[in-house]
Amino acid sequence: MKVLLTGLQGQLGQALAASVPAGVELIATGRDQLDLGDAAACRRAVAEHRPDWVLNAGAYTAVDRAETEPELAMAVNGGAPAAFAEALQDCGGRLLQVSTDFVFDGAQGFPYQTDQPINPLGVYGASKAEGERAALALPGTRVLRTSWVYGPVGRNFCLTMLALHARRAEAGEELAVVADQVGCPTATHTLAQACWRALAAPDSTPRILHWSDAGAASWYDFAMAIGELGVSQGLLQQAAAMRPITTADYPTPARRPSYSLLACEASRRSLDLPACHWRTALAEVLRQVAATRSPA
């Protein structure tokens, strides 16, 4: 199976490249090799490589900046999937489009099923929703929605909180984190496994899948666990004192869903993958971070 991967330099792309299953010929592209904002370049990449699958893990993910860069966000998140789908029609390949919980508005207060209507709140969510729509126009496409992605590399909430815990604890300052937005953290190593399994799944597998780690958390819960487990992994001497705040206390340019938990049970059965609780996955990510920071 030949797979054209986008987003190699991102945190998910690195996890995917590090976990390639046997029998997969991987053509990995990052921004230097393939500009996802260039639809013509996306079509050329498919025509050149003629992959069995395009695994589109690359994305414009700057949620707040998207509010002032809507054209770029839409070109990358909406235009690239459309270009891949168009080109794949000619060569007979398929597309796995990685999407987001931000396509939902968070108003219902209980987990979102794969077949529920979407209603994004901001530009980022709208651009990812357009990418889903364009991708699903191609027969055989699969969309895999996920949430709160983080890993041991790149820029993400986990690594930011580790640094803030260290800085605030040393200064004797509190760390204030939003506690009224609920979803589920998803580690890149479990998400990568789900992506590879989605490519190998039978044709009867649903076209839209949900994948996050198990359980539920607020950003405050997640930050608290990062501090606790960071201490136990030797990454922090001590965690900072924490204070929960509301979304209103921490205004951002982009509105975020207050509840974006994805219902993943059916997708886990379809992919034949067990659930991993988010705290267990977090502990593994922090073990990886600690290993990279240990003296050789």
The Cα 278–Cα 283 span in angstroms is 9
Residue 199: closest CA among 263, 122, 140: 140
Average pLDDT over residues 173-188: 97
Rounded average pLDDT over 148-152: 98
CA–CA gap between residue 236 and residue 204 (Å, rounded)? 47
Sheet holding 142-146, edge to edge: 25-28, 2-6, 53-56, 94-100, 142-146, 208-210
Flag whether pLDDT at 59 surpasses 90: yes
CA distance readout (Å), 191 to 16, 146, 223? 9, 8, 20
The answer on pLDDT for 6 being more than 80 is yes
CATH H-level superfamily of 2-147+188-212+263-273: NAD(P)-binding Rossmann-like Domain (3.40.50.720)
Residue 37 pLDDT > 60: yes
Q: Quick one: tokens of 10? A: 């991102």
Q: Where are the domains of the chain?
A: 2-147+188-212+263-273
What positions carry a catalytic annotation? 124
pLDDT band for position 296 (cuts 50, 70, 90): very low
Is the per-residue pLDDT at 249 higher than 80? yes
pLDDT digits (tens, 9 = 90+) for 99-149: 999 999 999 999 999 999 999 999 999 999 999 999 999 998 999 999 999
Which residues is 98 bridged to in the sheet?
144
Using CB atoms within 10 Å of the CB of residue 98, give its burial: 0 to 12 exposed, 13 to 18 middle, 19+ buried: buried
Q: Backbone phi, then psi, for 115, in 5-degree steps?
A: -95, 10
Contact 183, 259 (CB under 8 A): yes
Closest by Cα among 2, 15, 296, 1 to 153:
15
- At residue 294, the pLDDT reads 63
Question: For residue 284, how far is the Cα from the chain centroid?
Answer: 17
Amino acid 293: pLDDT: 81
User: Helix 157-171 crosses helix 278-293 at what angle (to 10 degrees)?
Assistant: 70
Alpha helices, DSSP H only, in the chain? 11-17, 39-49, 70-74, 80-91, 123-136, 157-171, 188-200, 219-232, 265-271, 278-293
DSSP strand pairing (149-150 vs 2-6): unpaired
123 vs 202: CA distance, rounded Å: 34
Mean pLDDT, residues 210-236: 97
The full length of the chain comes to 296
Cα torsion 172, 177, 183, 188: sign? negative
pLDDT at residue 70 tops 70: yes
Mean pLDDT calculated for residue range 169-180: 96
Amino acid in position 44: R
Residue 256: both structure tokens together: 């975020």
Query: What's the pLDDT tens digit per position in 250-260?
Result: 999 999 999 99
Q: How many CA atoms lie within 13 A of 160 on its CB side?
A: 11
**What's the longest Cα–Cα distance across the chain?**
61
Radius of gyration of the chain, Cα coordinates, nearest whole angstrom:
19
- Is pLDDT of 49 > 70? yes
* pLDDT score recorded for residue 50: 97
DSSP bridge pairs for 182: 218, 259
